[in-house]
Chains A and B, each alone.
Chain A
């Protein structure tokens, strides 16, 4: 193989050299390179096994080889091994002759293989500058080279026709400058379309203020702190888009670095920002304040207890006031003089007091702990007092004794002397007592979710107790009788249920829309209910008032004659509102706050605990956690 390759190169090289003696390097160089590469590659291949078995091979070589080693030194190694080359075709070792080795050497040195080849022969031009007499070929010219081309003639003819017809025009130099004319010469009104009316024009760019001046008044420059704050703010949040600066003269003003930015942002705003037409309300804030009728002037005066006064109640005549306190006493006051006439010690903290609304009797219901005491305070007309005592004593034991949930007993001894007449012992603590308008029935609330006896109604004249409800939904907060009709209002945490006592059915359920009802009062007409709730709201049966109080409401009350109602709250204030109730039930009552009364100091985070109205006068009584009862007239 190798040899054949050698041969082909050899012959090729010769041929090349002979044919184009002028071109010296080009075609000849290529095979030479190829050859040198091939040789060197071969050499490398041959070298490796030689090194491995250098000793064995050395012994195999003949003496000439040894001689050559001596003669040529280390470089001669290759040559020695080159002398005997294995012919792969025949498998026999061929010993190279001297000429052949020389050839290899010549090639290795980059010389031509042929010794006789002269690489520097003079070049002979093929086309010389000498004009020859005879032509190179003697062939006569074709006819077609003398006559015009038909196809071209046809093409030219077409072009000529097109030019004649004006289809082809010479290319005109383009005028790039825009041409302006009077665009709005004919303004026709029809061109204003709906689009233009619907168009929301972009707001114009904000005009600069004094702070943008190159030489602003000194107060517009930022102080050091302001500047630091400005730098720390986000660029969107900044009120000033740039730092005000002062330059002593116009020539000192530098270029504004964000100029292109701002222009670009404006561009973005123009085509990317969603637009919306917004009506800007230009409201005079004074117009928003509702016009209210003038409130009457009320003046406060005071009274006192040693602990918080849970409950107060005014006698139907309006002459007396009873207050029950956590210090275990019940005090009776004369309203006109604000003097404490009587103090009665009951067993425990008084939760609720209620004066019987029947003017013919003088009875006060007092609840403390599990018991409710009916007391004849011994104030006022003697006839009425005796009538009251008679009413109590005229009771006859019924023949058949019914099993009652409440134990009735007569008060005796010192208690009788104090004025206590009847003692009702309940199974659980009584939170609230309330009278029916006639003064015979008395309802007590014992809030407990687990029990089904939360509300009991007592009949005083017959000393009878009823449990009106088989089951109570939710924890009962307070109850109330309808002033005229046989309705009974039960307020649970979130609802007020209205029951018909005669038909014994639920007639209405009022959603209070609040979290926790604390108190309830019924309008003397009976059509409107107000509820106070622990979430600071007063609710009327038609609307929720805005939050006037800042803290939880504890008590609400209606005035019997005037269209007033009052609400007391933990923030220590009593708000008297004018609540005009219309006979037309569709019309919402008009509610106007008339007065904020502040007098109670807040103790233990409690302010006003109960409010009550004088039955005839527009006076408000309020009891507070500071142990006082206040009368606001």
Chain B
């Protein structure tokens, strides 16, 4: 007893949070400026644990920021710049109104600008932190670099984004760190492993954008402002790690190679240089010019406590990685003009292939279609008029599938005019109980080195498949038959028991039933135990079980769907065959 009475909401979580409006007032900023500040500084609302307590008893919907965060924003130099900018706009308007053109020019020249370097450093104190967060920056930059100059954003921003994305791609090519690619409906997903960090980004297909009206481009522009700064610094650092010059320069060999006779068609040297870089067909200049890349042999430092198996596994993984890096090494590709040049050139170069394209398509082609040494010609049209004997004409999906499979897939499935096999996502890792599409199983078998199916004649294949299926079905039938037999036996036994109650049943029956009885017993025990669960546990348990059941249901549904589809297609094929005969 005694002491001062504690008042409600004067300590604890109520004082740790601040609503957005209050925060805005505390910072003396307009909502737009507050938004910009939050985006640049990476301040986001927090969901309090007890919302009602924080909201002082009210249940109204509010977004809360941590008070610490807002205090942290208070002494941000950029806030001052925002205010300066506001004043600048006012002055400019006045000068315009008074038609003082000299004043306008002077004001324009002294337009307040801010730098975001310190914010990048502050948000990401180490380089790895920055690298971890570079996913969104990349996706955004790649999107902005595809924008046309329509006034949705500054032209400089678009150019900068293009430059940064080209730099990034060049880095990935040089470091050969691309791991997975995926052609989705949305665009092309790339996944790379840079300094141990998995980075995924999405690039839209090369089309003009239909700019939506319900999107606030100012928000996107603010994000892009920050992301370009971040990506620039990340690129710089990454180039440094590879001893590359930044801003990137083509090396001497590449430069001489690319001095094509068509260069004068391009207007400006500065422009064509970026184009040449974005062509990705030449390697970059290094600070320390090394004649050839010396392959760093991995040194082994046997750590105490680490057993040999682990180390072996690591070595094996490393070996596999190296192998994947050189997947297309020695192959010579030619891209036909209808395939997406940039993405394919990027991927192929990432795995060590030589790529070229038609001279009129883009700058930087190194050889033309008549070259005899070309091994693969990537075409995305039903047929070609003039075909060379010594090269494969394949569809672009082959490149993507091969990269994901980490091996050169058989080219037969990807020839011109052939119905392509399904393109699977490399990002799905099936756990036990998940649905695995049969194509994935086939791929896994291929990776393991099994070649169960002879690929010479399609008919054979089909027949074999059919046989396989039949066998499977037979197996299924067998199982079913066995079960049925069991059931019948049991029924018989039961009926016998009923009809002849006096008869002493042989001991054999009991022994067979024992197993089942045990199971039943166990099931009942489990049921009883479930009954005894606490309410909280029961809730959780029910939820988990519900989720599991749903999962199983979905998997079964997929299996059934696939089976039905396969059967339908098989029937179709048979019909066709019969017609032929």
In this complex, the interface size class of chain B, counting residues with CB under 8 Å from chain A, is 35 or more
CA distance A193 to B228 in the complex (A): 24
The reply to whether A260 and B212 form a contact with Cβ atoms under 8 Å apart is: yes
Any B CB within 8 A of the CB of A275: yes
Which residues of A51-77 are within 8 A (CB) of B? none
What is the CB-to-nearest-CB distance from A493 to chain B, in angstroms, rounded to a whole number?
Answer: 24
What's the Cα separation between A213 and B210 when bound, in Å? 22
**Nearest chain B residue, comparing its CB with the CB of A269:** B44
Interface residue? B139 (CB, 8 A): yes
Does the CB pair A178–B380 fall under 8 Å?
no
Find out whether the CB atom of A205 lies under 8 angstroms from the CB atom of B223.
Answer: no
A268 with B219, Cβ < 8 A, contacts A183-B237, A208-B425, A249-B395 known: yes
How close is A324's CB to chain B, nearest CB, in angstroms? Answer: 31
How far apart sit A266 and B424, CA to CA, in the bound complex (Å)?
25
Interface residues of B in 524-552 (CB under 8 A from A): 524-535, 537-538, 540-541, 544-545, 548
B194 within 8 A of A: no
Cβ-defined partner of A182 (8 Å) among B207, B212, B236, B561 = B236
A170-187 Cβ-contact flags toward B at 8 Å (1 or 0): 010010111011111001
The reply to whether A217 and B63 contact each other, CB–CB distance below 8 Å, is no
CA gap between A242 and B186 in the complex, in Å: 9
Contact A289/B423 with A251-B338, A261-B215, A271-B39 known, Cβ cut-off 8 Å: no
Given contact pairs A249-B420, A250-B395, A272-B45, enumerate 16 new A-B contacts (beta carbons under 8 Å).
A178-B232, A200-B46, A201-B132, A205-B202, A208-B189, A209-B425, A210-B437, A213-B422, A215-B183, A215-B420, A262-B186, A272-B63, A274-B64, A285-B541, A288-B540, A546-B531
Give the distance in Å from the alpha carbon of A251 to the alpha carbon of B338 in the complex. 7
From B205, B438, B532, A255 is in contact (CB under 8 Å) with: B205
Kindly identify, within residues 297 to 318 of chain A, every residue whose CB is under 8 Å from any CB belonging to chain B.
Answer: none
Within 8 A of B (CB), among A234-274: 242, 244-245, 248-251, 253-257, 259-264, 266-268, 270-274
**Is residue B156 within 8 Å, beta carbon to beta carbon, of the partner chain?**
yes
Which of chain B's residues have a CB closer than 8 A to the CB of A200? Answer: 44, 46
Whether A292 contacts B528 in the complex (CB less than 8 A), given A208-B182, A208-B427, A212-B185, comes out as yes
Given A180-B246, A256-B185, A264-B220: A546 and B120 interface contact (C-beta under 8 Å): no
In angstroms, Cα B232 to Cα A202, docked, is 22
Q: Judge whether A289 and B63 touch: CB under 8 Å.
A: no
Inter-subunit contact A274/B46 (CB<8 Å): yes
> Does A295 contact B533, Cβ atoms closer than 8 Å?
no
CA distance A200 to B133 in the complex (A): 12
Q: Which residues of B contact A (CB under 8 A)?
A: 35, 38-39, 44-47, 49, 63-64, 68-69, 72, 109, 117, 120-122, 125-127, 129-130, 132-133, 135-136, 139-140, 143, 156, 160, 182-187, 189, 200, 202, 204-205, 207-212, 214-216, 219-220, 223, 228-229, 232-233, 235-237, 240, 246, 338-340, 380-381, 395-397, 419-420, 422-425, 427-428, 437-439, 524-535, 537-538, 540-541, 544-545, 548, 558, 561-562, 565
**Interface status of A195 (Cβ within 8 A of chain B):** yes
Bound: A275/B42 CA distance, A: 12
Q: Assess whether A250 is in contact with B525, with CB atoms less than 8 Å apart.
A: no
Contact A291 B237, beta carbon cutoff 8 Å: no
Interface 9-residue window, one of A354-362, A516-524, A589-597: A589-597
User: Is A18's CB within 8 Å of the partner chain B?
Assistant: no
Instruction: Please tell me if the beta carbons of B233 and A180 are within 8 angstroms of each other in the complex.
Output: yes
Measured CA separation A550–B339 after assembly (Å): 66
* Bound: A335/B430 CA distance, A: 61
| Max chain A Cβ within 10 angstroms of own Cβ: one of B44, B135, B381, B420 | B44
Taken together as a complex, chains A and B put the C-alpha atoms of A209 and B184 apart, in Å, by 9
- Chain B residues with Cβ under 8 A from A177's Cβ? 160
Which of A213, A272, A290 contacts B533, CB < 8 Å? A290
Which of B47, B160, B422, B526 interacts with A289 by CB under 8 Å? B526
Which residues 570-602 of A have a CB within 8 angstroms of B? 591-596
B420: chain A residues within 8 A (beta carbon):
215, 248-249
Q: Are A219 and B437 in contact (CB under 8 A)?
A: yes
Q: Which residue of B lies closest to A292 (CB)?
A: B529
Which chain A residues border B45 with CB–CB below 8 Å?
272-275
Partner of B423, one of A171, A176, A187, A214: A214
The 3 closest A-B CB pairs, nearest first, are A255-B207, A207-B427, A276-B47
Query: Contacting A184 at CB < 8 Å: which of B35, B130, B136, B140?
Result: B130
Determine if A546 and B44 form an interchain contact, defined as CB atoms under 8 angstroms apart: no
A242 engages B140 (CB within 8 Å)? no
Given contacts A210-B428, A292-B525, contact A196 B160 (CB under 8 A): no
A172 shortest CB reach to chain B, Å: 10
Q: How far is the CA of A257 from the CA of B205 in the complex (A)?
A: 11
Docked-complex contact B535 and A546, CB < 8 angstroms:
yes
Can you sample 5 A-B contacts with CB below 8 Å? A209-B425, A249-B380, A267-B140, A271-B35, A593-B532
Query: Quick check: is A17 within 8 A (CB to CB) of the other chain?
Result: no
B380/A212 in contact, CB under 8 A: no
Within 8 Å CB of B39, what residues of A? 267, 270-271
Contact between B143 and A592, CB atoms less than 8 A apart: no
Partner of B215 from A210, A216, A254, A260 at Cβ < 8 Å: A260
Q: For the complex, is A23 an interface residue (Cβ under 8 Å from B)?
A: no
Task: Write out the residue numbers on chain A whose beta carbons fall within 8 Å of the beta carbon of B182.
Answer: 208, 212-213
Q: Which residues of A contact B235 (CB under 8 A)?
A: 180
Residues of A539-586 contacting chain B, CB below 8 A: 546, 548
A204 within 8 A of B: yes
Complex-state Cα separation, A319 to B129, whole angstroms:
81
CB pair A292 B565 closer than 8 Å: no
- Determine the residue in chain A with the shortest Cβ distance to B191: A207
For residue B246, which residues in chain A have a CB less than 8 angstroms away from its CB?
180
Chain A residues lying within 8 Å of B210, measured Cβ to Cβ, are: 255, 257
A251 pairs with B380, CB closer than 8 A: yes
Q: Which residues of A contact B524 (CB under 8 A)?
A: 596
Chain A residue nearest in CB terms to B232: A180
| Bound-complex Cα distance A255 to B187 (A) | 8
Complex alpha-carbon distance, A171 and B109, angstroms? 9
Within the complex, what minimum Cβ distance (angstroms) separates A178 from chain B?
Answer: 6
Q: Are A259 and B143 in contact (CB under 8 A)?
A: yes
User: Does A89 sit within 8 A of B, measured CB to CB?
Assistant: no
Q: How many angstroms from the CA of A288 to the CA of B422 in the assembled complex?
A: 42
* A215 in contact with B186 (CB, 8 Å): no
Q: Are A204 and B127 in contact (CB under 8 A)?
A: no
Contact yes or no, B185 A270, CB < 8 A? no
Tell me whether A250 and B425 are in contact (CB under 8 A).
Answer: no
- CB contacts (< 8 Å) of A594 on chain B: these are 528
A268 CA to B39 CA, complexed, in Å: 10
Residues B38 and A283 in contact, CB atoms below 8 Å apart: no
Partner of B136, one of A191, A223, A270: A270
